[in-house]
Amino acid sequence: MKSSEENHVSNEAPFAQFDNSYARLPDRFYVKRNPTPVSEPYLIKLNEPLARDLGLNPYDLKHHGAQILSGNKVPKGAEPLAMAYAGHQFGNFVRQLGDGRAILLGEVIDHAGNRRDIQLKGSGPTAFSRGGDGRAALGPVLREYIVSEAMHALGIPATRALAAVTTGDPVYRETVLPGAVVTRVAASHIRVGTFQFFAARGDEEAVRALADYAIKRHYPVCSAAENPYLAFYRAVCERQAGLIAHWLAVGFIHGVMNTDNMTISGETIDFGPCAFLDSYDPATVFSSIDHGGRYAYANQPGIGQWNLARLGETLLPLFDEDRDRAVNMANEVMAFYGERFQAEWLGRMRGKLGLLEAQDDDLELVQALLAAMQAGEMDFTLTFRRLADLCDGQPADVLTSLSKAPETLVGWISTWQARLQREEAASAERAKAMRKVNPAFIPRNHRIEQAILAAVQDADFSLFEALLDVLARPYEDQPRFATYQLPPEQDERVLQTFCGT
């Protein structure tokens, strides 16, 4: 096998012209590194609509892309590098993390004029691998592909999956597994931990350069503000508040909300131990490494605020030369985050209940439903979808049949219906609006595991393909896939999810 230094630039041109702005930052922001070649790359899946959006040629990628998407060939114009970053992992600060198994090929400008990172994940060791092999197993690659594309279809900002490729090489974890590479697309891969990397070294010049770069790339309007860095911080907090509110509205649990997994762009990143709620319980944890429940479903807004406070700490010298004034500025933004999250979350929950206007008792109504859902161990996704059916004139048992304690719902249904009467809207139109925000289909944990198991054990990707087809239209009923709506049977339940490393 050739070494990474022997990777040659591909003369094939399935990629658009690269324009690698991050590679023009100072050398200490990254380490240049070519992907490590693999034995037998095979293209499992190409995201053709995304390829077209990026200005890429799907035909060329399907016929010539496996070599590039596996890392065997570096496309012309790419400048492969591993990004430096630090991070708080489960509350403990790690001074140096960085891309240990991912290599940024470069950036392209998509059809909408947006700059997008093209990154190979599982592409071999880098200077940040800390003794790891830099590879990814097939299962985590498929999970990332499924969940990231499902999040996109649900309307939630997230990194995207352009392709999945098997490598023909084994990966050694607890057992021997088939290796794979996923091509990830992101607005950028700048994280809270990227700022922490330089702040931890007292490198204020680099923090300022990174902030200037992030403002120009993601928040250009902030450059005209009286205090551009404070405006940038506020904008990042606002975007994260909206993102996490959206997570909660669909029952998503990230599972590993470390500061190195929070993007400055406001996209969801890293789909290792993530999962979606089945029965509602705010204390739900799936991640096998989250022993204390730090990143439980209901803890995510607070963890988001904690992470953003860490970002604020890195930016204090840029806010004001006087540290006390800078701290006060950061604290005001933190208070804003809390208010913004609450407004975003309550607004989404109003939509899920079919409430078109804001009224003072809406929070109490939402909380009462969630309490009844928890008491009755009700499926999160089906509850809200059936609520739309109830609004559309179906009998109450379409909802109460989901509960192990249906009596807890009777009074709530009456209160909710009385609340709806305080607004002028036709029931059918209200139900239609509810179905646009309450998905019929989510990437159920057991369905993902079934697809992964078939692929890993039997090289059968039919369940993977079927799941992608269903999840591409999450708000449609799709009667022929009705079983995909159902929660798991007792023997199908997935109680733990795992990191892909």
369: nearest Cα among 417, 332, 333, 324? 417
Let me know: does 105 contact 83? Beta carbons within 8 Å: no
Judged by phi (left if over 0) then psi (alpha if -120 to 50, else beta), residue 102 lies in: beta
Give me the amino acid identity at 146.
Answer: I
Rg of the Cα atoms in the chain: 23
Does residue 260 have an active-site annotation? yes
CA dist., res. 349 & res. 434, Å (int): 10
- Of the candidates 117, 133, 260, 270, the residue annotated as catalytic is 260
369: nearest Cα among 422, 421, 418, 412? 412
Burial class for 419, CB neighbours closer than 10 Å (0-12, 13-18, 19+): middle
CA dist., res. 140 & res. 255, Å (int): 14
User: What interhelical angle do 362-375 and 407-421 show, nearest 10?
Assistant: 160
190: nearest Cα among 297, 273, 294, 115? 115
Beta strand segments in 294-432, E:
none
279: nearest Cα among 345, 370, 150, 144? 370
Any residues with CB less than 8 A from the CB of 482 and at least 6 apart, and which?
none
CA dist., res. 315 & res. 235, Å (int): 13
Active centre residues (catalytic) = 260
